[in-house]
Amino acid sequence: MERVNVALRRAEQALSRLEEVLTIADMTDIVRDASIQRFEFTFECVWKAAQRVLAAVDGMSAASPKGVIRACRDVGLLSDEDTQYALEMVEDRNLTSHVYDESAAEDLAGRLPQHAAFLRKWLERVKARAAEE
């Protein structure tokens, strides 16, 4: 369970960093790019924490973000609507982590507050599931 707790702490820390940068009122290009980078590593930490909890609590194995998202739906951590949203976040993460495109960065920056709120909701559900162990 120690690996689960470490993953949950990392996800919490990453999400706090994302939420912190999103409070900056002056969204310069540098702040925007930092926000996107924080979104990328926060998304990674949250899905990997969910992966660890699914394995420890539910005995489920999923190797990819999309697989973990679908498994979270299967155990009731995410609704169908939540699952669709999370799968769209995977596309946002993939878009920015492989190629830099100014227009895509601007579009994504506009979605980051909603993504952060969703990641918070998902992480809280994952933490509650872990507490069931």
Indicate which CATH number applies to the domain containing 57: 1.20.120.330
| pLDDT tens, residue by residue, 54-91 | 999 999 999 999 999 999 999 999 999 999 999 999 99
Angle between helices 80-98 and 29-53 (to 10 degrees): 130
Q: How many separate domains does the chain show?
A: 1
Kindly report the pTM of this predicted structure. Answer: 0.94
- Domain containing residue 64: 2-131
* Tens of pLDDT, residues 6-54: 999 999 999 999 999 999 998 899 999 999 999 999 999 999 999 999 9
66: its two tokens:
């999309």
Q: HSE on the CB side for 32, CA within 13 Å?
A: 16
Q: What does the pLDDT read at residue 98?
A: 66
pLDDT at 99: 63
**pLDDT number for residue 81:** 98
